[in-house]
Amino acid sequence: MKPTIVPRATLGRLPVYLQYLKSLPAEAGSNVSATTIAKALGLGEVQVRKDLSAVSGAGKPKIGYAVAELIEQLEDCLGSRDRSRAVLVGAGKLGRALFDYRGFDAFGIDIVAAFDRSLERAEHSDSGKTIYPMEEFGAFCKREAIRIGILTVPAAAAQSVCEEMVRCGITAIWSFSPGQLTVPEGVVLRQENLALSLAYLTMQIKTDSLGASDEEKD
Amino acid sequence: MKPTIVPRATLGRLPVYLQYLKSLPAEAGSNVSATTIAKALGLGEVQVRKDLSAVSGAGKPKIGYAVAELIEQLEDCLGSRDRSRAVLVGAGKLGRALFDYRGFDAFGIDIVAAFDRSLERAEHSDSGKTIYPMEEFGAFCKREAIRIGILTVPAAAAQSVCEEMVRCGITAIWSFSPGQLTVPEGVVLRQENLALSLAYLTMQIKTDSLGASDEEKD
């Protein structure tokens, strides 16, 4: 499998292709054309070809894609056979909501444990997963070789938790904490700013209603 | 006030400028230079000038910006004097986390009420705000002239709630529900896909560790 960065929009559609291909009855044959897929999913044919070319070769003229092979390639790309395990630090409301959110599954990601500084002993989330006291964070990450950390702690604690994550071997951090974070080279950081997202949307309608031009799209 | 779309990254820094300017002691004088602001906030001077030019005129040579005027312009842009009110539909875990999140305040946005189909009578969130039964949604939005709706319902309900929002006068929808939504022209829709964001981050470290080139940055 050749490692590639699939464009974000394409990645979002891959679980849809996978689900569709898996739903095909055996009688449908061992090949499927881009035209058939596009019709079934209400997508443009050009888009389907382009999306699938990111994970597979091009379909063969008059034959299309080999269904079994394409399923395997999609599963590889989506991590269905090589799942990624993440941990979450900061089991407040947002942290718990993410911890129990089921949508990560389709992308081959499991949030295997959460940690919170306020806990003295482990407890369970609503979905039955374990939230540990922060003291157990380092040992857990090293034992389980965790590479992905989700940060949902208050702003004041974010940088220090971020550094603790890096010390424990985490190389990708997804932060919901406000404020600027710095990570060493080699660590991938993505900072979500929910307030800013909403503010930006709000600004668009304010300016729209005042008749300004809306040149910048997000 | 001239309505403009401020770039997203600039918008994210405006509360920082505002807080700094408000913290200046009266003795500091009625003007402040971009150099002073840049030094105090650890930003580049060029960036400060560019950011502030989006909400104000350019600073005057050797004089800088009039502090009081700049505060007023920032407050206008951030909606501090013309706050935006939003409602939220779907008071599950993520919905409640957003409803009680304090970070929207700095951008002049209040989530004034939440609604949930499962409630028979109104109840309070952890921060003491009211969550109403869905039956009261339409009357509330019309009475309060709400224009911004936040959607945190399960995928199956998302499109119908989206349509209900539009019928009730909402013109900007911020959705966390998975699946494609369609809105009529004139309605601004922003769809967050948290699972996709994490998947994209994960893919970056997977390909990094396999030595692939990382051409596409998010």
What is the rounded distance in angstroms from the CA atom of residue B67 to the CA atom of residue B19?
Answer: 12
Pairing of strands B123-124, B130-133: antiparallel
Chain A environment of B197 (Cβ under 8 Å): 174, 190, 192
Q: Tell me whether residues B216 and A192 touch, CB distance under 8 A.
A: no
Chain B environment of A212 (Cβ under 8 Å): 2-5
Chain A environment of B152 (Cβ under 8 Å): none
pLDDT of amino acid A152? 94
- Residues of chain A predicted below pLDDT 50: 1-2, 211-218
Question: Å from B201 to nearest chain A CA?
Answer: 7
Q: List, as one string, the DSSP characters of chain A.
A: -------HHHHHHHHHHHHHHHHS-GGG-SEE-HHHHHHHHT--HHHHHHHHHTTS-PPBTTTBEEHHHHHHHHHHHHTSSS-EEEEEE--SHHHHHHHT-GGGGGGTEEEEEEEETT-SS-EE-TTS-EEEEGGGHHHHHHHHT--EEEE-S-HHHHHHHHHHHHHTT--EEEE-SSS-----TT-EEEE--HHHHHHHHHHHHHHHHTT-------
Question: Å from A93 to nearest chain B CA?
Answer: 5
Distance of CA B165 to CAs A165, B129, B162, Å?
A: 41, 20, 5
Distance of CA B206 to CAs A118, A172, A189, B99, Å?
A: 32, 10, 14, 34
Chain B environment of A86 (Cβ under 8 Å): 198, 202
What is the rounded distance in angstroms from the CA atom of residue B94 to the CA atom of residue B113?
Answer: 15
Task: Write out chain B's pLDDT in tens, 218 residues.
Answer: 445 678 888 888 888 898 899 888 888 889 999 999 999 988 999 999 999 998 887 778 888 899 999 998 888 888 776 788 999 999 998 999 999 988 888 888 899 999 999 999 999 999 999 999 999 999 999 999 999 999 999 889 999 999 999 999 999 999 998 778 999 999 999 888 888 888 888 877 766 655 444 444 33
pLDDT of amino acid A85? 93
What is the rounded distance in angstroms from the CA atom of residue B30 to the CA atom of residue A193?
Answer: 33
pLDDT of amino acid A215? 41
Q: Tell me whether residues B212 and A5 touch, CB distance under 8 A.
A: yes
Of the candidates B7, B97, B188, the beta carbon closest to that of A93 is on B97
Q: Tell me whether residues B198 and A150 touch, CB distance under 8 A.
A: yes
The ipTM (two decimal places) reads: 0.73
Instruction: Name the residue among B58, B77, B87 with its Cα closest to residue B18.
Output: B77
Chain A environment of B126 (Cβ under 8 Å): 93
Interface test with A, best of B171, B201, B208 (most A CBs within 10 A): B201
Chain B environment of A93 (Cβ under 8 Å): 93, 96-97, 100, 126
Residue of B nearest to A107 (CA): B199
pLDDT of amino acid B157? 94
pLDDT of amino acid A217? 39
* Token duo for residue B5: 């779309």
How confident is the model over A91-101, as pLDDT tens digits? 998 999 999 98
> CA-CA-CA-CA torsion for B122, B126, B128, B132, nearest 10 degrees?
-20
Percent of chain A clearing pLDDT 70 (strictly above): 92
Interface test with A, best of B5, B6, B215 (most A CBs within 10 A): B5
Question: Å from A9 to nearest chain B CA?
Answer: 9
CB A178 within 8 A of CB A192: no
pLDDT of amino acid B34? 92
